[in-house]
C-alpha cells in the first residue's frame, strides 16, 4: 500500500469497509416466507467468522529480527516494523 497521510488512510479504510458491508448486505436474500432462512445478520456473522479464520496468526515479536522493530535516532520506528504489527 502507498504511504498515505494518517487522516487519508482512515478515510480510505472507512470507505473500503463501508463499501464491503454495503455489498454484503445487498447480496443477502431477504428473509421471508415460512421456511427456515438465515437472517442477514446470521449470514454476515458467519462470513465475518470465516474471514477471521483466514487471517494469519499474530506475529511473535520475540522471534522477529532485531532490526524489524528498531527505532531511528529520532525515535521513529522503522517502516517495516510499522507495517507488520
Residue 1, domain member (yes or no): no
Q: Range of 29's domain?
A: 6-84
- Mean per-residue pLDDT for 7-36? 81
- Mean per-residue pLDDT for 41-68? 85
**77 and 69 Cβ atoms separated by less than 8 Å:** yes
* Number of structural domains found in the chain: 1
pTM for the whole structure: 0.39
Cα separation, 43 vs 48, whole angstroms: 9
Residue 42, domain member (yes or no): yes
Tell me what pLDDT residue 24 has.
Answer: 84
| CA 81 vs CA 9, 10, 31, 77: distances in Å | 18, 19, 46, 6
Query: In the chain, pLDDT over 90 holds for what percent of residues?
Result: 20
pLDDT tens across 62-80, in order? 887 877 778 888 888 877 7
**21 and 43 Cβ atoms separated by less than 8 Å:** no
Calculate ∠ Cα 82-72-60, nearest 5°: 40
Amino acid at each position: 500500500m502507498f504511504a498515505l497521510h494518517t487522516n487519508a488512510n482512515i478515510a480510505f479504510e472507512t470507505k473500503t469497509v463501508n463499501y464491503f458491508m454495503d455489498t454484503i448486505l445487498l447480496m443477502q436474500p431477504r428473509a421471508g416466507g415460512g421456511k427456515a432462512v438465515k437472517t442477514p445478520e446470521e449470514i454476515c456473522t458467519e462470513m465475518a467468522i470465516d474471514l477471521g479464520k483466514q487471517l494469519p496468526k499474530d506475529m511473535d515479536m520475540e522471534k522477529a529480527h532485531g532490526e524489524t522493530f528498531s527505532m531511528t535516532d529520532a525515535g521513529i520506528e522503522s517502516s517495516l516494523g510499522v507495517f507488520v504489527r
